[in-house]
A and B are shown apart, each in its own frame.
Chain A
Amino acid sequence: MKHTLLKAVATTALTFGTWASAHAVDLQFYFPVAVGGAAAETIQSLTDEYVAANPDVTIDAVYTGSYQDTVAKVITAARGGNPPQLSVILSVDMFTLIDEDLIMPFDDYLPGEEGKAWLDGFYPAFMENSQTGGKTYGIPFQRSTPVLYWNKEAFKDAGLDPETPPATWDEMVEYGQKLVKKDASGNVTRWGVRIPSSGFPYWLFQGLTTENDVILANADGNKTNFDDPKVVEALQYMVDLSGKYGVMAPGIIEWGATPKAFFEGQTAMMWTSTGNLTNVRTNAPFEFGVAMLPANKRRGAPTGGGNFYLLKGATDEQAQAAVDFVKWITAPQQSAKWTMATGYVAPRAETWETDTMKAYAADFPPVLVARDQLEHAVAELSTYQNQRVTSIFNDALAAAITGQKDPEAALKDAQSKADAILAEYR
Chain B
Amino acid sequence: MTSHRSVRFRRDWIHGWLLLLPAMVFLFAFTHIPAITTIINSFYSTPRGRREAKFLGLTNYERLLDDAVFWKVLGNNLWFALGTIPMSVALAIVMALWVNDKMAGRGFLRMAFFTPTVLPLIAVANIWLFFYTPGFGLIDQLTSSLFGWSSVNWLGDPATALNAVIVVTVWKEAGFFMIFYLAALQAIPVTLTEAARIEGASRWTIFWRITFPLMMPTTLFVSINAVINSFRLVDHIFILTDGGPDNASSLLLFYIYETAFRFWETGYGATLTVVLLLLLSLMAIGQFFLFDRRVHYK
Contacts and interface: CB of A to CB of B under 8 A. Distances in A.
B28 interface: no
Interface residues of A, number: 40
Interface in A71-119: 72, 75, 96, 98-102
Contacts of B244: 198-199, 252, 394-395, 398
Given A100-B49, A198-B242, A387-B264, A395 B134 contact: no
Contacts of A185: 148, 150
A75 B263 CA distance: 12
B246 A404 contact: yes
A402 interface: yes
A261 B155 CA distance: 16
A36 interface: no
A400 B158 CA distance: 11
A401 B263 contact: no
A253 B156 contact: yes
A399 B129 contact: no
Nearest to B245: A398
Given A185-B148, A402-B245, A251 B153 contact: yes
Contact of B155 (A252, A260, A387, A401): A252
Interface residues of B, number: 34
A331 interface: no
B4 interface: no
Contacts of A99: 48-49
B148 A249 contact: no
A249 B153 contact: yes
A68 interface: yes
A187 B151 CA distance: 7
A116 to B, nearest CB: 28
A264 interface: yes
Contacts, number: 100
A186 interface: yes
Contacts of B153: 249-253
B136 interface: yes
B270 to A, nearest CB: 15
Interface in A170-225: 185-188, 197-199
Contacts of B149: 187
Interface in B249-298: 258, 261-265
Contacts of B263: 385, 387-388, 391
Interface string A373-413: 00000000000010110010011101101101000000000
B124 to A, nearest CB: 15
B201 to A, nearest CB: 52
A319 B201 CA distance: 82
Contacts of A399: 245-246
A254 interface: yes
A401 B49 contact: no
A199 B247 CA distance: 11
Contact of A252 (B69, B157, B264, B265): B157
A257 interface: yes
B264 A96 contact: yes
Contacts of B248: 402
Contacts of A404: 158, 246
Given A99-B49, A198-B244, A249 B155 contact: no
Contacts of A250: 153, 157
Interface in A238-263: 249-254, 256-257, 260-261
A391 B262 contact: yes
B150 A186 contact: yes
B242 A266 contact: no
Contact of A261 (B69, B135, B157): B135
Contacts of B247: 395
B60 interface: no
Interface in B35-73: 48-50, 69
Contacts of A186: 150
B144 interface: yes
A404 B264 CA distance: 28
A72 to B, nearest CB: 5
B221 interface: no
B130 interface: yes
Nearest to B264: A75
Interface of A: 68, 72, 75, 96, 98-102, 185-188, 197-199, 249-254, 256-257, 260-261, 264, 266, 385, 387-388, 391, 394-396, 398-399, 401-402, 404
Given A75-B264, A199-B242, 15 more contacts: A99-B48, A100-B48, A102-B49, A249-B135, A254-B129, A256-B129, A257-B130, A261-B133, A264-B136, A387-B263, A388-B265, A395-B244, A399-B246, A402-B245, A404-B158
11 contacts: A99-B49, A100-B48, A198-B156, A249-B153, A254-B129, A256-B129, A260-B133, A388-B262, A388-B263, A395-B246, A395-B247
The 5 closest A-B pairs by CB, nearest first: A101-B49, A252-B156, A251-B156, A251-B153, A398-B245
